[in-house]
Amino acid sequence: MQDKVAATWIRARRERAFRLLAAREQSLHELREKLLKPTPAEIADPEKIPDPTTSAQLINQLISFLLEHDLQSDKRFIESLSHKFLRQGKGPLALHQEYRKHQLETSLVSQQLKSLEPLWYPQVMRVREKRFGNQPPKDQREAGKMQRFLAQRGFTPDLIRKAVFLE
């Protein structure tokens, strides 16, 4: 009986994984969390869920399959997330925080952040000019407003100083 439950459960998880990955790139951590989360039907009838050890083993096997067939890639996820944040006008601190949230491999994160370094100054200037124009701040109050706005967007203090005081 437990084998039948496990087979049905993993089939549903495999379909869910394909749907999630077809919609957008998913981090490995995010995908694992979503696949382990019980559906409303499973919450209503816990007998449809295999024991936790079996569930974890089945999910690990499914993840291995997805990785082996290049259906899930944290490298692609990082690139996708980076492009999204650049389009949204966010800075390196915001992006790094999001990388940590998804528990991405440190070497991939470092490599991506290094490749994006030349883009941060034009990015902060674009965001500043869109919101405040290209004139220097009239007074300290306006400079503070610019600094707070850019800090909320995830830019570093150095980039903020350069953008606000047009260095």
Q: How many domains does the chain have?
A: 2
Which of the four pLDDT bands, split at 50, 70 and 90, describes residue 97?
very high
Q: Domain boundary residue among 68, 89, 117?
A: 68
Same domain, 56 and 101: no
Q: Distance (Å, rounded) from C-alpha 43 to C-alpha 55?
A: 15
Distances (CA, A) of 138 to 127, 130, 135, 143: 18, 17, 8, 8
With CA atoms as reference, report the closest residue to 29 among 114, 113, 99: 99
Same domain, 103 and 143: yes
pTM of structure? 0.88
Same domain, 156 and 85: yes
Range of the domain at 136: 74-164
Query: Could you report the per-residue pLDDT of 42-78, keeping only the tens digit for each?
Result: 889 888 888 888 999 999 999 999 999 999 999 999 9
Enter the DSSP assignment of 70. T
| Neighbour tally for 98: CB within 10 Å | 18
Same domain, 21 and 89: no
Q: Domain boundary residue among 41, 68, 95?
A: 68
